[in-house]
Structure 1
Amino acid sequence: MPTISVQGQTITCESGANLRQVLLKHGVALYNGKAKVINCLGLGSCGTCAVEIEGAVTDPNWKEKARLSLPPHSPTKKRRLACQIRVTGDIQVKKYNGFWGQGEDLVWKSEY
């Protein structure tokens, strides 16, 4: 079973599990500020669940590529949308500041 290192926790999940669902189930503060109540609920259209991932996950789909290519996101940053990611192996997750997680300052990081 893959492990997710996030916000000082190590969480195990099934291979192929949706990252957003796993993080929310385990009480991880995935959203910054009001994005906790104003988000697309996992449809991949808002971009507020953007995180940086190290490890084995699925490749970006068309929805994720499209959203991350639009401001305030940038395709040059290593951000991914948690709602569109399937975990396929061990990963580490970081969250940045800004409503959409697009900032430069870490809000939290993995402890690994």
Structure 2
Amino acid sequence: MEEVPVTVRAEGREETLSVERGANLRRALLAAGFEVYAPAARVANCGGRGLCATCGVRVETGDGAPADADHWHDRLAARYGYPRLSCQLTVEEPLTVEIPEKRYWGQLLPR
């Protein structure tokens, strides 16, 4: 399988991962040791079904940005500036994501 570079910015560090094309972004981030959840949501989340809205990431726009939002939360994210749900993103092209700091349940604040 072909691998795609995904640059991740989180907690003051930047790392580029090699992710299999077609992989789910949430699963890839968790497998690489990145925490996409706030403390409480680590144990009480929907498991990647797009229901709890706590695995948000900011996707850098431009080349490699995922296609138009097709999940209800991602449509709202695009409209109001909230992070996109990593569980609803498939890695197809190189991309850069930022995992915002989360202190409470999801705390997905607009910019």
Identity of aligned residues (%): 32
Match of 2:65 among 32, 51, 56: 56
Structure 1: unaligned runs, 5 residues or longer: 106-112
2:89 is aligned to: 85
Higher strand share: 1
What is the TM-score when the length of structure 1 is the normalising length?
Answer: 0.75
The RMSD of aligned alpha carbons is 2.3
Aligned residues of 1:56 and 1:88 also touching (Cα < 8 A): no
The structural deviation recorded for 1:78 is 4.5
Cα distance change, pair 68–46 in 1 and its aligned pair in 2 (3 A): farther
- Stretches of 4+ aligned residues off by more than 6 angstroms: none
The structural deviation recorded for 1:4 is 1.1
Aligned residues: 100
1:16 is aligned to: 22
What is the TM-score when the length of structure 2 is the normalising length?
Answer: 0.75
